[in-house]
Chain A
């Protein structure tokens, strides 16, 4: 059976206590399809370099192959938003081309995240969390800072935040 075309994408993945830098293979459905794949509870990472979040520049260990329990992932930092926008919604009249940016603030365990969501219509957290596509909320031009170490921050063109891990969400201007 052919596996079809699979691309390797680079990502920075964060759990409660660890930062993992590596690559993951994605198919035509992109990273969202991998994360939503019901046949596996794990996301496989190649060349995984693991750091603790209080010393995120230091590499604790490295594994050529690693797997992360999906419901442990708080958020994923991507340097190129094209990698993280769901396949089929990058072009044409999708929410990501016709929506407007809305400032957003979220918390997940150990981190707070600031950035913009792209949304169309009335701004309501419930709508955004329930009606948006997939299990991850897309925060553009985002920065995540560690709650206990606010000087430690990570920025990315796109941060994919696990909806299940969101503790608080604030939308619009302060």
Chain B
């Protein structure tokens, strides 16, 4: 979360930009009179300034010049956001000391992406190295993607740090539907080169209005060869160094990429539902992992009831798995509507089962991450 000051004489636009940035998880101060700008910038010490150009009394250019001449503010990132949309306007803004330029009208995605680019060095410094959380299970249809999406959003909300959700599905990922996003690329687009760096990964991340980043699965189904282990290792290493939390939604296949991801995981969340097939699959999956020599640093079960009537009770599931289930999510009747609307329940503030448990989980994980960082 960054401290951002927005200066614009148009109250409506000012509040709209403020809302976009608040949804991006930032702490916003709005100023409508540019003459007050310099003093308030000195007082607030923001991480970034979003500035209009055409304002009565003092133009954004004049304010930028003053800021650049003020001791201590020479390095303040300034994003010019103006209705003057000509190339010459961009050149002028950059020449007088702005760091970036966007012309109105602007979408929240464009704005958040640009702001994120300007803030990246500071965010990285605070966030690295991050925690890797994997949601996995070899039985599909147990709500794993729903929980991964909600957990990533809840972590973003509670921590206000960088969080990335990685959809590693091989059979057309569903995370964009959950988040109501239309991503233009996926992890498959990173496959072209043997090595890739952070700017390349970042280029393929979609941004949700909350600021959550998403690396989506490809739009076409892939074979397990399409997701090699070396790729996953490189990807997770990069995300760990840049994100406070990376939430992996693993495919339900024991492929090398699955194994590699679990080996690098800090918290593994095995998602099952209270039915005979799911529990039986979970028992076999545990055996397979043990036989493969994979030891998770920390592992918990999430028992997610995806139908109104469970086949098995929690006690029965615990007995069969020979372990305690710390997270039990009852059937949530609101989930279908949330999926249709592209608004995950973690964002709605309702007290239904999914957001209640997921928000609790996020708080536990966030507290643990803070303790680990001292």
Interface of A toward B, CB cutoff 8 Å? 10, 12, 21, 47, 49, 56-59, 62, 64, 79, 152-155
Given A62-B56, A153-B88, 5 other A-B contacts at CB below 8 A?
A12-B86, A21-B54, A47-B56, A56-B86, A57-B89
User: Which residue of chain B has the shortest Cβ distance to A21 in the bound complex?
Assistant: B84
Count of CB-CB pairs between chains A and B under 8 Å: 43
* Residue among A10, A12, A56, A57 facing the most chain B CB atoms (10 A cut-off): A57
Give the residues in chain B near A49, CB-CB below 8 Å: 54, 59, 84
| 8 Å CB interface, B9-63 against A | 53-54, 56, 59, 61
The answer to whether A59 and B54 touch across the interface, beta carbons within 8 angstroms, is yes
* Residue count of chain B within 8 Å CB distance of chain A: 16
User: Which residue of chain B has the shortest Cβ distance to A151 in the bound complex?
Assistant: B88
Interface of B toward A, CB cutoff 8 Å? 53-54, 56, 59, 61, 83-89, 91-93, 95
Q: Chain B's nearest CB lies how many Å from the CB of A65? A: 11
Give the residues in chain A near B93, CB-CB below 8 Å: 57
A153 to B54, CA, bound (A): 20
User: Which residue of chain A has the shortest Cβ distance to B95 in the bound complex?
Assistant: A57
Give the residues in chain A near B91, CB-CB below 8 Å: 57
Q: Chain B's nearest CB lies how many Å from the CB of A75? A: 14
Give the residues in chain B near A153, CB-CB below 8 Å: 86-88
A154 to B86, CA, bound (A): 6
A84 to B87, CA, bound (A): 22
* Residue among A21, A64, A152 facing the most chain B CB atoms (10 A cut-off): A21
Q: Chain B's nearest CB lies how many Å from the CB of A59? A: 5
The answer to whether A154 and B88 touch across the interface, beta carbons within 8 angstroms, is yes
Give the residues in chain A near B84, CB-CB below 8 Å: 12, 21, 49, 57
A12 to B84, CA, bound (A): 9
A54 to B59, CA, bound (A): 19
Give the residues in chain A near B59, CB-CB below 8 Å: 49, 59, 62
Give the residues in chain A near B85, CB-CB below 8 Å: 79
Q: Determine which of A21, A47, A56, A59 lies in contact with B61 in the assembled complex, contact meaning CB atoms within 8 Å.
A: A59
The answer to whether B88 and A152 touch across the interface, beta carbons within 8 angstroms, is yes
Q: Chain A's nearest CB lies how many Å from the CB of B210? A: 30
Question: Would you give 17 A-B contacts (Cβ < 8 Å), ordered by A?
Answer: A10-B83, A12-B86, A21-B54, A47-B54, A49-B59, A56-B86, A56-B88, A56-B89, A57-B92, A57-B93, A64-B56, A152-B88, A153-B86, A153-B87, A153-B88, A154-B88, A155-B86
A64 to B56, CA, bound (A): 8
The answer to whether A58 and B61 touch across the interface, beta carbons within 8 angstroms, is yes
The answer to whether A59 and B87 touch across the interface, beta carbons within 8 angstroms, is no
Give the residues in chain B near A10, CB-CB below 8 Å: 83
User: Which residue of chain B has the shortest Cβ distance to A56 in the bound complex?
Assistant: B88
The answer to whether A59 and B53 touch across the interface, beta carbons within 8 angstroms, is yes
A10 to B56, CA, bound (A): 17
Q: Chain B's nearest CB lies how many Å from the CB of A142? A: 12
User: Which residue of chain B has the shortest Cβ distance to A64 in the bound complex?
Assistant: B56
A79 to B89, CA, bound (A): 14
A71 to B276, CA, bound (A): 83
Q: Chain B's nearest CB lies how many Å from the CB of A80? A: 10
Q: Chain A's nearest CB lies how many Å from the CB of B10? A: 9
A11 to B163, CA, bound (A): 41
A154 to B88, CA, bound (A): 8
Give the residues in chain B near A152, CB-CB below 8 Å: 88
A138 to B59, CA, bound (A): 32
Q: Chain A's nearest CB lies how many Å from the CB of B230? A: 46
Q: Chain B's nearest CB lies how many Å from the CB of A134? A: 25
Give the residues in chain B near A58, CB-CB below 8 Å: 61, 92
Give the residues in chain A near B95, CB-CB below 8 Å: 57
Give the residues in chain A near B54, CB-CB below 8 Å: 21, 47, 49, 59, 62
Give the residues in chain B near A47, CB-CB below 8 Å: 54, 56
Q: Chain A's nearest CB lies how many Å from the CB of B4? A: 24
A56 to B56, CA, bound (A): 18
Give the residues in chain A near B53, CB-CB below 8 Å: 59
A91 to B34, CA, bound (A): 43
Q: Chain B's nearest CB lies how many Å from the CB of A82? A: 14
Q: Chain B's nearest CB lies how many Å from the CB of A8? A: 12
Give the residues in chain B near A59, CB-CB below 8 Å: 53-54, 59, 61
A62 to B83, CA, bound (A): 15
A62 to B58, CA, bound (A): 9
A165 to B337, CA, bound (A): 60
Q: Determine which of A21, A64, A154 lies in contact with B83 in the assembled complex, contact meaning CB atoms within 8 Å.
A: A21
Q: Chain B's nearest CB lies how many Å from the CB of A164? A: 25
Give the residues in chain B near A155, CB-CB below 8 Å: 86-87
A165 to B212, CA, bound (A): 53
* Residue among A12, A58, A64, A154 facing the most chain B CB atoms (10 A cut-off): A58
Give the residues in chain B near A57, CB-CB below 8 Å: 61, 84, 86, 88-89, 91-93, 95
Q: Chain A's nearest CB lies how many Å from the CB of B95? A: 8
User: Which residue of chain B has the shortest Cβ distance to A60 in the bound complex?
Assistant: B59
A79 to B56, CA, bound (A): 23
Give the residues in chain A near B87, CB-CB below 8 Å: 153, 155
